[in-house]
Structure 1
Amino acid sequence: MSFFTTFRRHDRLTEQAPARVAPTPANSVLTAICLGLLTGFAGTMYHAFIWHITPDIYLPWGAVLGILLVFCAATWCSLRAEKTWAGSLVGVVAFMLIAVFGFAKTGSVLVLLNPVVPVGVAGTLWLLGTMAATAVSNVVVGRSLRRRTQRVQK
């Protein structure tokens, strides 16, 4: 059998493949909670990685990486579940985990809401950036799902 014959057979099989079924709501909730905890832990570990270009100029690249991780996890979860609330749950769980780490214990070593030191700026960026990344993810996924629905209806 030649390569082209195999390719044609594979092409016919993929055309006849059944449509993908979205996961159940329970599966989506479990996945979103796990992704929220994973991104919350990972981002909290890395948000304080700061590149000091000069003593006054710095780039909190760890916080940016954590925010990007929350955005990607929320987007993937929403697209996989075909529901925007799944991605919102990822962001809410990550945000709650950060809040627990930062505010549950007085004298916490995590520095939040302190614009004077670079670590405080990174902590604030990480805390507020998770919600911003989740909101942007919801907009992106909402548009994508709308376009997908319009294509299917045509």
Structure 2
Amino acid sequence: MMLLLTATPLRAEDCAAPLAAAEAYRTAAIDAARGRAPLRRDYPDCPPLGAAVTEWRDAEGVLRRASLRSGGEDSAFTAETYFDAQGRPRFAYVSGGAVSGARLTQRIAIGADGRRICEARRVTVPVYPFPNPWPDALLPLAAAREGPCPTEQENERP
């Protein structure tokens, strides 16, 4: 039997199974890092009001969960990425809000090769122009490093 992979992303209605599988990585990552002290890095130089990255590692020191929080005067977001036992990103969850009352939730399934499989997004009314698709530069896809704002580095983190 031959499996055909298309270059086009799956439609939202086709994402249920891939997202459910990806969310299993979320549960496994949380369990693996349970009881482990997180490492937090603050980046006050990130425009407009700074950013913070919090990371959780498992007992072997593998990055299993990372959270990036940032925002401005009109909106803020938290982007969380969950990693498999080999430290590869497998699921991302973005939540945010705006002073207008708009709320965003976005779930992103990530394949073993690091590419997005599919994503499901919900923005409440009143609509706010949250980026769509969510930029990789605003996802913690690797361990944060010391230095300048991670969101301006296009995730060139080691």
- What TM-score does the superposition give when structure 2 sets the normalisation length? 0.28
Q: Which has the higher helix share?
A: 1
Larger Rg: 1
Larger relative contact order (Cα-Cα within 8 Å, sequence gap ≥ 6): 1
Q: Which has the higher strand share?
A: 2
